[in-house]
Structure 1
């Protein structure tokens, strides 16, 4: 039972002091731009990375499918209220005076695709006659009205530093069903360890073995798999059975700040694990499901069990050559790595140790 602490005058004073101490002053302006201008500011200089409206590296790739994009365009045409776009004035140089898009990249990309005739409207429910239309199919007068439709923006001034911008990004998206945990980590927990995760996640051998689909890559599944590998490899004994995403968040944040982080050592262990899988697990059939003529990624539980088990075994015997990998077909292994398997501390330890011990012949 949680004991309710008494709200005393002293606690109220301390609370007010904490608010003053932690609060950051964020100056902002409210602006309105026509859609035509927004798209122009996003596209002009984009190839040279000098566009006035630019997408920072912590933002995700295009995530809306064409149904969602079409519905957004339909909302604009109908004149429905559009959420504010958040941008921040970045004083990289007096000549560029660029605006970083904190929230609104999906909307701006959708507007750009539509105006460039790259989006053909589909599955509209209100304006059904427009299904199949591109921008150029609209009557000229409607094109002009669409182009001059204005969208409001909140522009943070140049006083808002990177920490403020990333914090705003996290808070805007913390309740969104569209951003998964790894996408939010990219926006709110930058650092040298996250940079390493990004680098390893695009390793061709890793992506080939996992057979990630494009939607999975766009959702940053490869990055989460890499994070899980290191978090459980180096810290599984401290996993308490709490929510996995909290465990991963804490590990990522700690390693980002670590002064003893060895990038080369971590890369080496990851690459050795991949080479071991490639050499001793033909076609990776034991790790990755084969359905018809294609491979699909395994569950996260199975991935971390096998990859971490292999890495732990290689720590004990770098020249390990397993006598057999048939244990991966055993009922015992299937039971502890099925998709609904428990993530209690004992279960996590058991399945990781199972792979390690079987490989070492223990």
Structure 2
């Protein structure tokens, strides 16, 4: 059996051999395309996966680049030293980011039309050459962060790095797009309110490490705050077109509010979250179902600790009806609220296609009836 000292020596040697040397650089898209064209960057090393994005997913990446939405870092391996001149041998290979670079290259080489664009719909069907000059300049000058990995790594180490880094396709979440497009004081406010402690607890986000939560990473928490304001003050009555568009219209409208109006928004949200948490507990927005016990009895069982439709019902009813400065709630309110889940129509309103106008209206007004 080897001694601890011998094990430490082996450990040091492995750590030294496997330590990855890196360098952060930024390339503009025009430069990246030229490097791919000249075979300086090899897009399809043998350790890359075979999956290829379709035109729609590629187009959504182009849309995010035009809108200046951050995209993940590209990881490239420096296979040949920059001072060496070796003909027909790529200088760099892509460890992570192949799909992104392929999408960029295909579009900027006029080999792919845009399709499925959600924000820049007017560009659907366009090739790169069809873009107006200002958008061509914007794309050419847009930069992407790259992490260059030292050339001394053997292929297996590169493969290991790729497996650890690869995170799949870049998906443009609705709130990420709104954050890029509808910039203004309201947008700033909802990002601030998404960090409210009561809200995070109710939203089942770990206070010690909130950034690791997928809801935070995808800005779903910020969208919930937007949802609160978009529906409050009986605004849910105006929900006629799709819910996505309804939220986007609210972002645009609320960015024009005065500082005083936004301060009122802030106060209402903070006090509502505080009151709900301290009345109904940390899992106030949980969803329940009815389980049969015997022939006559019914028992509620929890389906999830947080449900966005339940969030609508409880939070909007509270902010619209309860005097937040001096709430006067009966002791029976918690049980009466839980009993709503025994009502099939209420349960249906927080299940399935929950953003349907009639479902939104019914679940909010059902809770309002308890608070009157």
Q: SS of 2:31's equivalent? A: strand
Unaligned runs of 5+ in 1: 1-28, 36-54, 87-98, 122-126, 135-175
Q: SS of 2:198's equivalent? A: helix
Partner of 2:286: 288
Q: How does 1:189-204 map to 2 (within 5 A)?
A: 189-204=182-197
Kept in 1: contact 2:73–2:97 (CA 8 A): no
> How big is each residue's C-alpha offset from its partner over 1:142-175, in whole Å with a ceiling of 9 and x where there is no partner?
xxxxxxxxxxxxxxxxxxxxxxxxxxxxxxxxxx
Kept in 1: contact 2:317–2:367 (CA 8 A): yes
Partner of 2:311: 303
Change (3 A) 1:223 1:319: same
Kept in 1: contact 2:95–2:161 (CA 8 A): no
Change (3 A) 1:215 1:104: farther
Kept in 2: contact 1:289–1:298 (CA 8 A): yes
Unaligned runs of 5+ in 2: 1-27, 37-64, 76-93, 109-127, 129-136, 163-168, 206-211, 289-302
Kept in 2: contact 1:299–1:339 (CA 8 A): no
Q: How does 1:338-353 map to 2 (within 5 A)?
A: 338-341=351-354, 343-344=356-357, 346-353=358-365
User: Aligned partners of 2:234, 2:140: CA distance in 1, in Å?
Assistant: 33
> How big is each residue's C-alpha offset from its partner over 1:34-56, in whole Å with a ceiling of 9 and x where there is no partner?
79xxxxxxxxxxxxxxxxxxx99
> How big is each residue's C-alpha offset from its partner over 1:58-104, in whole Å with a ceiling of 9 and x where there is no partner?
73575999xxx95525997x9x94766x9xxxxxxxxxxxx999997
Q: CA deviation at 1:322?
A: 3.6
Q: Which has the larger radius of gyration?
A: 2
Partner of 1:243: 242
User: Aligned partners of 1:177, 1:103: CA distance in 2, in Å?
Assistant: 21
User: Aligned partners of 2:275, 2:306: CA distance in 1, in Å?
Assistant: 17
Residue 313 (structure 1) aligned with residue 321 (structure 2): yes
**Partner of residue 328 from structure 1, selected from 319, 338, 350:** 338
User: Aligned partners of 1:343, 1:272: CA distance in 2, in Å?
Assistant: 28
User: Aligned partners of 1:104, 1:338: CA distance in 2, in Å?
Assistant: 42
Identify which range, 185-194 or 332-341, moves more after superposition.
332-341
Change (3 A) 1:238 1:341: closer
User: Aligned partners of 1:351, 1:247: CA distance in 2, in Å?
Assistant: 18
Residue 181 (structure 1) aligned with residue 174 (structure 2): yes
CA RMSD of aligned residues (A): 4.6
Kept in 2: contact 1:227–1:248 (CA 8 A): yes
Partner of 1:72: 97
Kept in 1: contact 2:95–2:158 (CA 8 A): no
Change (3 A) 1:57 1:243: closer
Q: CA deviation at 1:328?
A: 2.6
Change (3 A) 1:221 1:210: same
Change (3 A) 1:308 1:31: same
Normalising to structure 2: TM-score of the pair? 0.52
